[in-house]
Amino acid sequence: MIDLHTHSSASDGSLSPAELITRARSIGLRAIALTDHDTTDGLREAEEAAAALAPGADGFLLLSGVELEIEVPHGEFHLLGLGLSRERAALETRLLEVRGDRETRNAKILDRMRDAGVDIEMGDLTRTAAGEVVTRAHFARLMVEKGLVESVDQAFKRWLGKGKPFYQPKACIPLDEAIDLIAASGGKAVIAHPLSLDLAGPAFSDFLKDCRARGIVGLEAYHSSFALGACRRLEHLARRLGFFVTGGSDFHGDNIPSRRLGYSSGGLPVPDELLLPFLAAG
């Protein structure tokens, strides 16, 4: 069992990077990818925690990663960089610029909330974040705490998701630049949860073909929010178009409790075989 899409408190997960590694090992994961949003700040702690583990009979592999948002006119496009194995300075410098824009974005979201009569202050938000990088997930958690919504998922579906009243776009790295930065860091570019693109039929297939031509090599066909049948159709399409297939829980710990570490669609474990493209790369 493996998990190629997880988050720590370096972005919007509830576990620290070291706690995430400990949890992964305790439930018997063979490998895990840490893919925090727009930051690699948790990777050193995760790498040190993985190196300190007593090796088991089957070993344990940490894939250092990142998750980037790419601006598109339809849905949401997230790109995973998996297996960042070389110098990350250029990527980290670019991510620092992206995160610098987040304070402006957060202030605009707060303004939208106040205009709608929602009583939330920046101090409330920083208290909820408790030192973590402030993301939309923290807005959602605060809305739950104040009784404005019943769950984080509901906050996104009704208020914070793309096209919803409190949504505010953030600065994004252009796709070709993101692919180049991932490759320069030794990683593989993978389309995360592709159904979030909100494309179907020929438009979806054509979009994926263009991504493949531009250097994206993998597609996350298995994701905890997808029905199993949809995942299998995505796997078939991915292999037909020349992508390798990945899968993950998109684990956020207590922040999204429905997502279980190591498990993807239908509550099934993420299979070890999806690790093969990374093992082949050495």
Class of domain 2-98+171-280: alpha beta
- Average pLDDT value for the chain: 91
> pLDDT, tens digit, for every residue of 183-240?
999 999 999 999 999 999 999 999 999 999 999 999 999 999 999 999 999 999 999 9
User: pTM of the entire structure?
Assistant: 0.84
Q: What is the pLDDT confidence band of residue 119, given thresholds at 50, 70 and 90? A: confident
Tally of CB atoms within 10 A around 75:
13
Element (H, E) at 153: helix 152-155
Q: What is the pLDDT confidence band of residue 269, given thresholds at 50, 70 and 90? A: very high
Domain ranges of the chain: 2-98+171-280, 103-160
pLDDT, residue 57, reads 45
CB 248 within 8 A of CB 223: yes
| Integer Cα distance of 128 and 14 in angstroms | 11
Return the CATH number of the domain spanning residue range 103-160: 1.10.150
Res 123 pLDDT > 80: yes
> pLDDT, tens digit, for every residue of 9-66?
998 888 999 999 999 999 999 999 999 999 999 999 999 999 988 555 467 999 999 9
Element (H, E) at 204: helix 201-214
